[in-house]
Amino acid sequence: MFDAPNTKIKNIDIAIVGFGNVGRSLAKLIVYKRQVLEDKFNLRINVKAIFDSKGAVVKEEGFSNYELLKLTEIPRSKISEFENGLRGASLKEIYDKIKPNIHVELTPSNYIDGEPSTSNILTALNLDCNVVTATKSPLVLHYDEIFSLTKKKGLKVKFRGTVMGGTPFIDLLMSLKSYEIIKVEGILNATTNFILSTMYEKLISYEQALAEAKAIGVAEADPSIDIKGIDAAAKLIIIGRLLGKRISLDKVERDDISKLTLNDIINSIKENRVIKYIATIDESSASVKLRSLEKSDPLANINGTTNAVRIVTDSGDLFFVGKGGGGMETAHSVLDDIISIGVSS
């Protein structure tokens, strides 16, 4: 996809803001892929700063492979205890010093006000940094502000990791330039799809299936963003923006899957149907709803943590299946965005 000409190595300096599953996976991936990136794309990615919720660690010449791997072993929110760690320094203070080319935003989404990720992104853009983000809430709540500033500064904001993070779905959608897209619908949340699949497979209650999801790390301790459809709705809003549609989070109709009972599952089996949690956006509306599907519908056969999307176009339906996310899967999408900016800058 990106074949680099035979030129000298280009250094791309980055800062990673947010060091949870995706951030740590990205650090490992950069180590594992460093030689490939140099050989194939003539890019050397230098991680110069990493931020977590309590502080940062900075190295102006960039962290070595060994240091990056050691940083991934540090307990959460303890990054500032590493050598060269800092507490209390602002993003601007550190960026004025290290001058990164790319700001990588991986903090958790906050759908109340979009902070701190929105301010982080705007600060980075004002300091002439391109942005790569897997954090959805800034795009959901402050899309116009972010992209107005991006255009004004002549920079790039990439967000492959925000929807179906383990796949190139965003790229696919953006490539359909000659198609009239009538509707996009699909399974956009891995946690809820796992819960529903488990209820069918084992004929157990929602509560039991949720407990299983938590036990294996598929569901968070507080899964409300997934269960109430907020995560899937956020992805719909981002999809809508790519289709030229403006939809606010409160305008997306949402079902709460915790209302689903084992009797509902059993009754659907008797009717030879399958209940799925389907996110849909069309010309006039957006919703995340429990829907009873015929077994012949491809979406009815998507199980576990797999995601799938059907794009209904004037030229027929396109069906796209892949991993919805996960630390390493999303990190691949983030790294693809970094490479894309690197080879085009």
Catalytic residues: 235
What does the H/E/C string look like for 155-173?
A: CCEECHHHCCCCCCHHHHH
Which amino acid is present at 66? Answer: Y
* Residue 89 neighbours by CB under 8 Å, 6+ apart: 55, 56
* Residue 80 neighbours by CB under 8 Å, 6+ apart: 52, 54, 55, 56, 57, 86, 87
Task: Tell whether the torsion through CA atoms of 53, 59, 65 and 67 is positive or negative.
Answer: negative
Give the phi and the psi of residue 310 in degrees, each rounded to 5: -110, 125
DSSP one-letter string for 183-211:
EEEEE--HHHHHHHHHHHHHT--HHHHHH
* Residue 327 neighbours by CB under 8 Å, 6+ apart: 20, 21, 22, 24, 25
Q: How many CA atoms lie within 13 A of 12 on its CB side?
A: 27
CA dist 275 to 8, 49, 295, Å?
55, 45, 10
Distance CA 167, CA 308 (A): 10
Query: Is beta strand 273-282 parallel, antiparallel or unpaired with respect to 181-187?
Result: antiparallel
